[in-house]
Amino acid sequence: MSERVKVFLDTSVLIAANDIDHERHADSRPLLAAATQENCACGVHSLAETYANLSIVKGGRQQRPETAFRLVEQIAGRMMVVALDPEEYLTAIEDAAKLRIAGGTIYDALLLKCARKVGAQRIYTLNARHFKLVAPDLAGRIVTP
């Protein structure tokens, strides 16, 4: 996949954009609203992670699983969804091991590998510190909405 996109949205931004009670909703929603197949991408893993977060109880409120699915389906329809092949997946894990990245930060590394794959010019996340740790060479492209 050699396509270049302007914007890559991390799971954290997709969740905030779809949760009106999220403290970063107002900052994240416009990014999702402006997303098109031509200018925006997310990682395929983000679809499941977004569904998981939108369908759980938080603050006494829960999306019905069917509603959470529809929101994820809309995300997938709005933007390019990027998957890694097994070799790319293993390379991302190997690179993380070389950087001594451990635990759940591997998921950030996988998403950054997806962002690299599509040549994202801007990578939006609510977890910029971890993203910059995983990919210091992309630090200038990693921003918080």
Sequence ranges of the domains in the chain: 7-132
For residue 137, what are its two tokens? 């060479």
Assigned CATH for 7-132: 3.40.50.1010
d(CA 71, CA 82): 18
Closest CA to 128 of 115, 118, 141, 116: 141
For residue 26, what are its two tokens? 């107002």
Provide the whole-model pTM.
0.90
Q: State the distance between the two ends of the chain, measured CA to CA, in whole angstroms.
A: 26
Query: pLDDT (tens digit, 9 = 90+) per residue, 38-81?
Result: 999 999 999 999 999 888 866 656 668 888 899 999 999 999 99
Query: pLDDT (tens digit, 9 = 90+) per residue, 3-31?
Result: 677 999 999 999 999 988 889 999 999 99
